[in-house]
Amino acid sequence: MVDPEQRHHQVGRVHQVPLGIDVHDLAEGDVITAVNGIATLDVADIGALLRNQGGRQVLLTIRPGATNDAGNGANGSSAASDTAEATTGNGSGEPETRDVIVVPINNERNLRYSDWEYTRRLAVEERGAGRIGYVHLRAMGGNDITAWYRQFYPVFNREGLIIDVRRNNGGNIDSFILEKLMRRAWMYWQERVGQPTWNMQFAFRGHMVIVVDQNTASDGEAIAEGFRRLGLGTVIGMRTWGGEVWLGSSNRLTDNGLARAPSMGVYGEDRDWLIEQIGVIPDIVVDNPPHATFGGADAQLDTAIDYLLDKIATEPVPVPDPPAYPNLRFDYRRNREQGGRGRGGGSLATCPGKTPVRGGRSGGDRGGGGAAGRGSVDGVWGLFRWHECDGIQVVGEHGPAFPDPCAFDTP
């Protein structure tokens, strides 16, 4: 954007960029006064100074904006790693500037798309208070499987999940994604500390929605239709593109050219043709008006968040609490005929005038008057620790128990 008073170019917005890319602590409001030593006031548009510079190092001269401290950027540090020595005023009242080396990109679409995706995720995290996960799939190819892994597994245990396939231009991994979403929890693991986990691993237990728009195409439409037909959740947004007849590549011509033609359609269990020329019609139709969307609003995403928050409140799906631990304490006096013979023998605990008690083999040092091992009492196998004349400690989920081995005889 252009400063209306000075006609300099201001940094209007710093887009979110992938990890590892240095943004040089640029902040919104900073002013670009020169490119490669040529003042931006000397040209009609800054684009003239960046022509044919994609992928090359470019030197920018930056003056802090009015809202930033001199020499400080977005993160409050004095300069980035690639920033040259700051140039101070020479007493003429000119503000302090600094030189920064950057590498312009040839196409800003991917940068803007990544920023859009990142801000959607931030909105879900904020409005959902960390209870709703967000996954966006740009397409349905190999790279998008990686995107699925990176986005889904950190949020698989949330109470709600938004799968965003707006602008998705297709591919062929719908079955892979749907298979993961169809997993169901049927068994839970509970350690002595921490929260339970479940089988099937990474099964999503909460409520789900999928968001589509008029630019959702091909396999993006297939996953949305499958999502609904398999009973996984609700479809929200606008009717999709409507192209599901696949193209064949067998029409090779004599000059080795190729005339691809639609050759393979899809139909459902009810014997109706699906999607082609119809699209996927959402369960909840929501449009994103152009002017409001340009201003940063996202009615479709807001509807998805509101829907899930209502579902979470009215139909919660909490993880079942573990049952009480079973009481497996043993009555050694009543069942002493069966004894406490450990598997493969063991050490002997002796008491004056009493028959020694045999325990399980410890497999280690038996000093200190005792040994540890696995044994059977009253027909139940367990893990025990044997102490000479002090009793038997049951180790594991059974809790401690110290019957006196000297109080009764064992055969």
Tens-level pLDDT at each residue, the chain (411 residues) = 555 455 567 776 666 554 444 555 677 788 999 999 999 999 988 889 999 998 899 999 998 876 555 444 444 333 333 444 444 454 555 678 888 888 888 888 888 899 999 999 999 999 999 999 999 999 999 999 999 999 999 999 999 999 999 999 999 999 999 999 999 999 999 998 889 999 999 999 999 999 999 999 999 999 999 999 999 999 999 999 999 998 877 778 889 888 888 888 999 999 999 999 999 999 999 999 999 999 999 999 999 999 999 999 999 999 999 998 888 877 766 655 555 444 444 444 444 454 444 444 433 433 344 444 444 444 444 444 444 444 444 444 444 444 444 444 444
**Residue 254: inside a domain:** no
d(CA 79, CA 402): 68
End-to-end CA distance of the chain: 94
- Residues 77/26, Cβ–Cβ less than 8 Å: no
- Residues 375/341, Cβ–Cβ less than 8 Å: yes
Residues 85, 163, single domain; the answer is no
d(CA 361, CA 12): 74
Q: The whole model's pTM is what?
A: 0.69
d(CA 319, CA 204): 11
d(CA 216, CA 164): 10
Residues 191, 228, single domain; the answer is yes
d(CA 76, CA 86): 15
List the domain range (segments joined by +) for residue 73: 1-106
Residues 180, 304, single domain; the answer is yes
Residues 308, 236, single domain; the answer is yes
DSSP 298-338: -HHHHHHHHHHHHHHHHS--PPPPPPPPP-----TTTTTTT
Cis amide leading into 200 (omega within 30): yes
Residues 52, 11, single domain; the answer is yes
Q: Which two tokens stand for residue 352?
A: 């004056």
Within 10 angstroms of residue 156's Cβ, the number of other Cβ atoms is 16
Helical (H) or strand (E) element with 110: helix 109-127
Domain count of the fold of the chain: 3
